[in-house]
Structure 1
Amino acid sequence: MHKASCNCRQLSLTVIGEPIRVSVCHCNACQKRTGSAFGVQARYQLSQVTFSGASHHYQRKGAVITFQFCPHCGGNLWFTMDVMPEVVAIPLGNFADDAVSKAQLASPTMTVYQTRCHDWVKLEGIDEVYD
């Protein structure tokens, strides 16, 4: 069992079991969403996740993705995709906690939108790469 939360901890979730996958996304939308060079998210079956606290959402058009975020601190805690309604994607950094060993969290094994990857990014342990 792992717990994820926003910065102010008002919004949280608990997952049970292993993720379906952990992936790194280099798309422009993930770069903007995270303010970083890429996004890393763990995907779980909806049945593995329990939510707590109040959230607001932003729905991105196109491939419809709904981002749930904390109305107090603005942290994006999870998102769902209309094409996979039974899957919850949780940005891996939301599991950050000094009491949790990073070895306890699954590592990414795939990347997507590799053509948008910054030249200086070098990842290890990646089995699948998609452009």
Structure 2
Amino acid sequence: MPQPYFGGCQCGRIRYQLLAEPLTLYVCHCTECQKQSSSAFGMSMTVPRKALSITQGQPQEWRRNGDSDREVICFFCGNCGTRLFHQPERNPDITNLKPGTLDDTRWLHPVGHVWTRSAQPWFTISEETLQEEKQPADFSEFFQRFTPKTE
């Protein structure tokens, strides 16, 4: 699905647009993503930070240190609580968009899994995908493997 991409929160107060192709898409099994998503994992779509813009509303900000002990700035809707994206302070050029907030999610296909050591034991990870026990020091292989799906 070619850009631009559009998305927003559950209640519709926050809307955004992405004016560049995503860089990668992966599944994170860290305990923070499990808590944040109220599920077995979270997904992150790395995008160029300058290409993401809020077109309606103003998200709230919350800062935390993740399992990797790196600070992350989290943005969410103050009304419905939907997590929209994260901005890692260690890399000011990227944003990790929460891809479930996209208007069209049919084309999403993660290339790998991180923090697999925290994965729920009942979840099966395909051996065809990249797998990292913790936070990778380098995501270059995740970037190389990712190709946005088109319809």
Instruction: Tell me the SS of whatever aligns to 1:13.
Output: strand
Judged with a 3 Å threshold, the aligned counterparts in structure 2 of structure 1 residues 121 and 82 are, in CA distance, closer, same or farther, namely: same
Instruction: Name the % identity.
Output: 23
Cα deviation for residue 42 of structure 1 reads: 0.6
**Deviation of residue 78 (structure 1)?**
0.9
**Structure 1: gaps of 5 or more residues:** none
Render the CA deviation track for 1:65-118: whole Å, top value 9, x for unaligned: 0111111111111110011111111112111x4xx3603x4x110111111111
CA RMSD of aligned residues (A): 1.7
Cross-structure match for 2:111 = 109
Alignment partner of 2:81 out of 74, 77, 90: 74
Point out the structure with the larger strand share.
Answer: 1
Q: Is the 8 A contact 1:108 1:126 kept in 2?
A: no
Q: Secondary structure at the match of 1:30?
A: helix
What displacement does 1:123 show? Answer: 4.0
Number of residue pairs aligned between Structure 1 and Structure 2: 126
Runs ≥4 in structure 1, deviation > 6 angstroms?
A: none
Listed as ranges, the gaps of 5+ residues in structure 2 are: 134-151
Q: Flag the 1:101–1:117 CA change in 2: closer, same or farther, 3 A.
A: closer
How does the TM-score come out when normalised to structure 2?
Answer: 0.76
Matched, 1:48 2:54: no
- 5 Å-filtered alignment, 1:1-131, equals 1-52=4-55, 53-61=57-65, 62-95=69-102, 97=103, 100=104, 102-103=106-107, 105=108, 107-124=109-126, 126-131=128-133
Report the AA paired with residue 56 of structure 1. Q
